[in-house]
Amino acid sequence: MSQQPHIIEPAAAATSCVIWLHGLGADCFDFVPVVDALKLPQNHGVRFVFPQAPTRPVTINGGMPMPSWYDILGMSPARAINQAQLDESVATVKGLIADQQAKGIMPSRVILAGFSQGGAVVLSTAIQNALPLAGVMALSTYGPNLGELLQQTKNAPKLAIFCAHGRGDDVLPMSMGREAHDLLEAAGHTAEWHEYPMAHEVCPQEVADIRDWLTARLGL
């Protein structure tokens, strides 16, 4: 990690945690405004952890250095990625989960969230980690090698997964998000599908739906 995560502590004692990964080219502050927009109960006890991706060259963007959880080598027929870098990012998220456990928050009170490339990382982490997480938010994302991972982890705990995508997404087509959802559902995970009239972004209705899902998963 190039820097420490940005952390927002609740007013009350922290009893749960959301670890939220940004997308390609963004930073750890990208989703900070969503915390207020969620309008969680005043005594919610949710710690928000926003890690920062390393800055490195991204092949599909002409080798320009930018914050990225892994390099994207090509767009078609399926996205070609640097698997070793994805594995490094998965290890980073596993370390953040372990940090929360050391602070008294068990995995069953941890939600992993990620947008776009960050979502791909948290899906990979959640499937590989075999921990009974409180849930996963996969926002405008996809699942690299997801079918293979699911085959390897058939006996892992089943997860609750909030999948959301924009119908007008021209960066990461909605079909890729839907494919990931369908693979998760077929493997026995509880995957909810939400689609919105938006592009590669987050909209107010999605934030409201996330709030409902979060409060239900964490019993707020």
Backbone angles phi, psi at 142, to 5 degrees: -150, 180
CB of 198 closer than 8 Å to CB of 165 = no
169 annotated active-site: yes
CB of 153 closer than 8 Å to CB of 58 = no
CA distance 111 to 79: 26
CA distance 119 to 185: 17
Catalytic residue among 44, 169, 181, 189: 169
CA distance 8 to 53: 18
Catalytic residue among 116, 124, 140, 165: 116
CA distance 172 to 166: 9
CA distance 211 to 106: 21
Helix (H) or strand (E) holding 117: helix 117-129
Class (C level, CATH) for 6-54+83-218: alpha beta
Catalytic residue among 6, 99, 194, 200: 200
200 annotated active-site: yes
Instruction: Count the Cβ atoms, other than its own, within 10 Å of residue 12.
Output: 12
116 annotated active-site: yes
Tens place of pLDDT per residue across the chain (220 aa) = 458 999 999 998 999 999 999 999 999 999 999 999 999 998 899 999 999 999 999 998 899 999 999 999 887 656 789 999 999 999 999 999 999 999 999 999 999 999 999 999 999 999 988 889 999 999 999 998 898 999 998 888 899 999 999 999 999 999 999 999 999 999 999 999 999 999 999 999 999 999 999 999 999 8
Model's pTM, two decimal places?
0.96
